[in-house]
Amino acid sequence: MSSKKFVRSEMLPLKWCDGCGINSFFYMTADVFEELEKEGKNFVVVSGIGCTGRVAAHFDLDSVHGLHGRAIPLAVGVKQGNPKLDVAVISGDGDLLEIGLGHFVHSARRNDNITVICNSNEVFGMTGGQVSPTTRLGAKTITTPQGNLKEPLNVQDILFSNKNYFYARTSHIFPQHFKDVLKQAINHEGFSFVEVISPCVINFSRRLGKGVSDVITDLRSEYKIIETGEKLGEGELGVYKND
C-alpha cells in the first residue's frame, strides 16, 4: 500500500509491464507533485491514448483522459478555464508527436502556459509495437521488419523555431535528473516540453534482442547529463530554453 499523497492506492498494483519505465516515471512524477504542492502548486493531469496515457487514472488529483492525439488542446482549455491551475499533459510519443503533432506545434507557437511530458518509448506500444515518430533509424518494429528507414522526429528543433521555448530531455533511469528537470518545466512560465527517453521493453527492445537489464545498460552508456544550458546534442540530457 502506497503512502504517497498523489497516488490512488485503490489502483495499485500498477498495470504496466514488468520493467517498463512508466512504472518509475509515474512514481517520480508523483514525488515531484508532492514536493511542488508545498510551493502552492495545484495540479491537473491531462492524457491521451496509449500506454503512457493511462497514468491519469492513477494520480489522486483532478485529471482528464481524452481522445487520441487531443490531450494538448484539452489541457489548454483547462488552463484557460482556470489560469491558477498547473496543467500537465502526460502521454506518449505516438499520441503527442504523431496523432497530435499539429496541436503540439501550435501550442508551442502560442507559448501556452502548460507542461507537456512525453514518454518517448520509440513505438506505439499499446497496439503492438508499430513504428512511431521517435523510432530510431534502422530499428525493427512490426511495421518496419527490415528496419526503420526514416530519421526520428527532432522535437528540439521544432521548438527552437519559436522565439520562446523550453525543451528538456531526461530518462527514468536518472531519477534525480528526472525530478530536477520536471520541476524546472512545471515552474516555467509558458510552454514547456520534457522528452523522457524510455524504450518499450516488450514491443521494442525485445525485438532488438534486448532485455530490461540491457535497456538500462544501454541508456547509461548512450546518454550523459550536461549542465551547460546549450542545445542538446545526440545522447545528451539536460534543459535548453529561451525565455
The per-residue pLDDT string of the chain (243 residues; one tens digit each, 9 = 90 and over) reads 345 899 999 999 999 999 999 999 999 999 999 999 989 999 999 999 999 999 999 999 999 999 999 999 999 999 999 999 999 999 999 999 999 999 999 999 999 999 999 999 998 988 888 999 999 999 999 999 999 999 999 999 999 999 999 999 999 999 999 999 999 999 999 999 999 999 999 988 888 888 889 999 999 999 999 998 899 999 999 999 998
Q: Is residue 1 part of a domain?
A: no
Q: Is residue 201 part of a domain?
A: yes
Indicate the number of domains in the chain. Answer: 1
**Grid cell digits, residue 240:** 535548453
> pTM of the prediction?
0.94
Q: Is residue 39 part of a domain?
A: yes
The range of the structural domain enclosing residue 95 comes to: 9-242
Whether the Cβ atoms of residue 35 and residue 6 lie closer than 8 Å to each other: no
Q: Is residue 107 part of a domain?
A: yes
Q: Is residue 159 part of a domain?
A: yes
Q: Is residue 4 part of a domain?
A: no
**Tell me, what CATH number does 163's domain have?**
3.40.50.970
Q: Is residue 125 part of a domain?
A: yes
| CA dist., res. 5 & res. 34, Å (int) | 7
Burial 84-119 (b: 16+ CB within 10 A, else e): ebbbbbbbbbbbbbbbbbebbbebbbebbbbbbbbb
Q: Is residue 120 part of a domain?
A: yes
